[in-house]
Amino acid sequence: MKLLRLLVLFLTVPAVAQQGGMWIPSLLSGLNEKEMKSLGMKMKAEDIYSVNHSSLKDAVPQFDGGCTAEVISPQGLLLTNHHCGYDNIQSHSTLEHDYLTNGFWAMSQAEELPNPGVVVTFIVSIDDVTTKVLEGTQSLSEEARQKKIQENITSLTKSLPKESWQENSIRTFYEGNQYIRFITETFKDIRLVGAPPSSIGKFGSDTDNWVWPRHTGDFSMFRIYAGKDNRPAEYSKDNVPYKPKHFLPVNIGGVKENDFTMVFGYPGRTTEYLPAVAVEQIVNVLDPAKIEIRDAALKVEDGFMRKDPQIKIQYASKYAGIANYWKKWIGEVQGLKKSNAVAIKRNYEAQFTQWVSKAGKQAEYGNLLPDFEVQYKAIEPYALGRDYFVEVALRNTELLTIGYRLYQLEQVYNAKGAQSFTDRKNNTIASLEATYKDYSKAVDEKVFEQLIALYINKVPKQFLPDALLNANAAQLTADVYGKSGLVSYEGVKQLLAGEPAAVIQKLNADKGYQLIKAMTAAYMEKVAPKYEEINLKITALQRTYMKAILELSPKDARIFPDANSTLRITYGKVKGYEPRDAVYYEPVTYLDGVIEKYVPNDYEFDVPQKLIELYNKKDYGQYGENGKMPVCFIGTNHTTGGNSGSPAIDAKGNLIGLNFDRVWEGTMSDIHYDPNICRNIMVDMRYVLFIVDKFAGAGHLVKEMKLVK
């Protein structure tokens, strides 16, 4: 028994250590390759990234800045998430053609819908430019150093060789210890090809968001169009479908537990190398504050949305936006606590201290950890003040958010004069029309009352503007919402009408405007400068800490750079997990689960009639498996925001799934990845094809693809 235990321990430890990490595809090490092969990968590193011949990276662009997509046909057909294409699907929707509700399918290329402003960016090549970026920065003060680095980056971005239709982009890795240049190509004519109804693409909505078991068909399809020379071009009806250097074949052979998977994409931001003291602050101070603010806003909105269908439509997207990270932070705090992240970090730091002394590097690295303690203590009130300002004023109270935009207008007037002011004013007036279309004074007023009360009570007193010191939230609310012009589009237009000087005068006499201006001024004077000052010190410490970790860790340590919206690969296995005692979650869900969750006419859990019919007839075509239709699966790939729409790729480089979320218990993976409970969630490609082919009758799209088994 004992021996067996020991054996199991030895056998499982290395397997666990092979998980996690977001790696730069051009810099995969022998160790990465060995791990990937031991997990079952059948490709060479050259197949993943190569500058000499086409490789996987040529099929995986960033989608519109924030998501990932993949090319899945020789005619530039592009797959991403429904939630990534959501805004575009929405903007083509009208009451007569409600594509959000009913879905949209172009039955020919002529029917595909252009999306002005949407872009898709491919990586052409990746190379290290650290020496060039750091030139002339030695022995500069931190502030001067940052400035010089920025200057170097700006000039290198202009001067490094590339083709005329390409872009240079230089990004930092390992917190300022490495700089990498990407040559990119950005396509600007991206047309909507298809989207399932929200009852499939957003099935489960906010209730199921960040949750496993999941049953969402979170996908949509676009097509990249290029000029006749196959290069990026502005929209033109004469553009032609882009011929990609590589597209992903789709494997409909299916997945099972322990299969190798790899996710390729553009993860946005992680902070995996924070010291324990920083994680403690997130868990105990910053996340709880943000959760409390959003909790209050969501409760108010939800109350109104349940009673009033008009408000439900107006606030659906805003609500989902606020709820997404509110829910993520709650999971993050629980996960960090449950996985003992702080204690694990403290242990690591004890070990780190030993490395430092063994290497005789006390002079260089010996003060790092104590300095972190000092600086994080020092920044705490400022970080809190900043989070309150961002969450209350800039994010969740509409009147203040709108007021802030007008405040920026006044800044333009002061800095650049009347003409710039008028140009920007006209843009602001135009864009505010859409804002007010979805604005309810009643909702916003209640949100304001709750959030301003939190602001008054929770923001450290010394950071409050006079207007909020000892203010009474209810009275202030009645005053602002009774008198401010910002509570309606008409009111704002009146405030903004007339000569620049007169407009500025009117604004400054407005109750709502006065408040946001006072809040901003207090923030700018009392919080921001000190926050920036300490943050600069923390940035420098973090850079040195990262350098020390890279230098002193054992040779085989797996140290990956934090996510920074650049192309990465992460690999792992299809795997279930144990969310809590005695409960095991299987790694695959089926259409049966959709039917189990079905609530007729519910805004989250309704199911289209056609899908129910297909289910009843078990009419799954070539996509089913033993009479069942797979829907989603999970794996140990280390992903984050921005990985939405990323391809999940099998051992041979075929597409098997589409990444879109993570499991609730593992949302702390941005700070501390625990292979026991961190899982990414993917839609099974067989479900995607089944919906396209059997549900939507758009089999011509499947014919474009290359299917393998």
The footprint of ligand ASP (CB under 6 A) covers 639-644, 660-662
**CB 388, CB 289: distance < 8 Å:** yes
Please work out, in degrees rounded to the nearest 5, the angle formed at the alpha carbon of residue 641 by the alpha carbons of 543 and 520: 70
For residue 54, the number of C-alpha atoms closer than 13 Å in the C-beta half-sphere is 11
Question: What is the spatial distance between Cα 236 and Cα 231, in angstroms, rounded to a whole number?
Answer: 13
Which of ligand ARG, ligand ASP, none does residue 374 bind to, with CB < 5 to 8 Å depending on kind? none
In whole angstroms, what is the distance from residue 259 CA to residue 572 CA?
8
Q: Which is nearer to ligand ASP, 214 or 573 (CB)?
A: 214
Which is nearer to ligand ARG, 204 or 675 (by Cβ)?
A: 204
DSSP state of 248: P
Nearer to ligand ARG, 561 or 641 (CB): 641
- Please choose which of ligand ARG, ligand ASP, none residue 639 contacts, taking the beta carbon within 5 to 8 angstroms, the exact cut-off set by kind: ligand ASP
In the complex with ligand ARG, the residue whose CB is nearer, 324 or 420, is 324
Which residue, 168 or 565, has its beta carbon nearer to ligand ARG? 565
Biggest CA pair distance of the chain: 86
Nearest distance from C-beta of residue 668 to ligand ARG, angstroms? 14
Residue sitting closest to ligand ASP (CB): 644
Using the minimum distance from each CB to ligand ARG, give the nearer residue, 384 or 678. Answer: 678
Cβ distance to ligand ARG smaller for residue 184 or 667: 667
Q: Which is nearer to ligand ARG, 145 or 202 (CB)?
A: 202
Amino acid making up residue 544: T
Report the nearest approach of ligand ARG to the CB of residue 441 (Å): 25
Query: Is 204 in contact with 215 (CB distance < 8 Å)?
Result: yes
The three-state secondary structure class of 707 is strand
Output the smallest distance, CB 640 to ligand ARG, in A: 9
The nearer residue to ligand ARG, 87 or 499, going by C-beta atoms, is 87
Distances (CA, A) of 556 to 34, 339, 709: 12, 24, 36
Q: How far is the CB of 71 from ligand ARG (least distance, A)?
A: 22
CB 476 to ligand ASP: min, Å: 36
Beta-carbon count within 10 A of 699 CB? 13
- Give whole-number Cα distances, 592 to 205, 333, 479, 603, 614, in Å: 18, 32, 54, 19, 12
Using CA atoms, how far apart are residues 102 and 198, in angstroms rounded to an integer? 7
The listed partner (ligand ARG, ligand ASP, none) that binds 572, CB under 5 to 8 Å by sort, is none
Contact 287, 329 (CB under 8 A): yes
Q: Which is nearer to ligand ASP, 222 or 388 (CB)?
A: 222
Rounded to an integer, what is the distance from CA 450 to the centroid of its chain? 28
- Beta strand 588-590 with 630-635 is antiparallel
Alpha carbon distance 247, 340 (integer Å): 42
- 418 is in the binding site of which of ligand ARG, ligand ASP, none (Cβ under 5 to 8 A by kind)? none
Q: 471, 456 in Cβ contact below 8 A?
A: yes
The binder of 320, among ligand ARG, ligand ASP, none, by C-beta within 5 to 8 A per type, is ligand ARG
Tell me how far, at minimum, the Cβ of 265 lies from ligand ASP, in Å.
8
Spot the catalytic one: 83, 215, 638, 672.
83
Judged by beta carbon distances under 5 to 8 A according to partner kind, the member of ligand ARG, ligand ASP, none in contact with residue 206 is ligand ARG
Catalytic residue among 64, 208, 218, 693: 218
Cα angle vertex 585, ends 579, 590, to 5°? 145
SS (H, E, C) 531-571: HHHHHHHHHHHHHHHHHHHHHHCCCCCCCCCCCCCCCEEEE
At 660, give phi and psi (nearest 5°).
Answer: -145, -10
Look at the alpha carbons of 182, 188, 193, 198 in this order and tell me if their dihedral is positive or negative: positive
| Binding site residues, ligand ARG, CB under 6 A | 83, 205-206, 209-210, 320, 324, 641, 644, 661
Active site residue 83: yes
82 belongs to the catalytic site: no
With a CB cutoff of 8 Å and minimum separation 6, the contacts of 181 are 126, 127, 128, 129, 156, 160, 168, 169, 170
Strands 178-187 and 167-173: antiparallel
209 binds, among ligand ARG, ligand ASP, none (CB under 5 to 8 A by kind): ligand ARG
* Chosen from ligand ASP, ligand ARG, none, partner binding at 510 (C-beta under 5 to 8 Å by type): none
* Rounded least distance, CB 52 to ligand ASP, Å: 31
Judged by beta carbon distances under 5 to 8 A according to partner kind, the member of ligand ARG, ligand ASP, none in contact with residue 623 is none
Q: How far is the CB of 317 from ligand ARG (least distance, A)?
A: 9
Minimum distance from residue 214 beta carbon to ligand ASP (Å): 11
| 218 carries an active-site annotation | yes
Q: State the nearest-atom distance from the C-beta of 325 to ligand ASP, in Å.
A: 9
* Residue 184 binding result from ligand ARG, ligand ASP, none, given CB thresholds of 5 to 8 Å by partner type: none
Please list the residues that pair with 251 across neighbouring strands: 708
C-alpha–C-alpha distance, residues 479 and 448, integer Å: 12
Beta bridge partners of 68: 62
Question: Active-site residue numbers?
Answer: 83, 218, 644
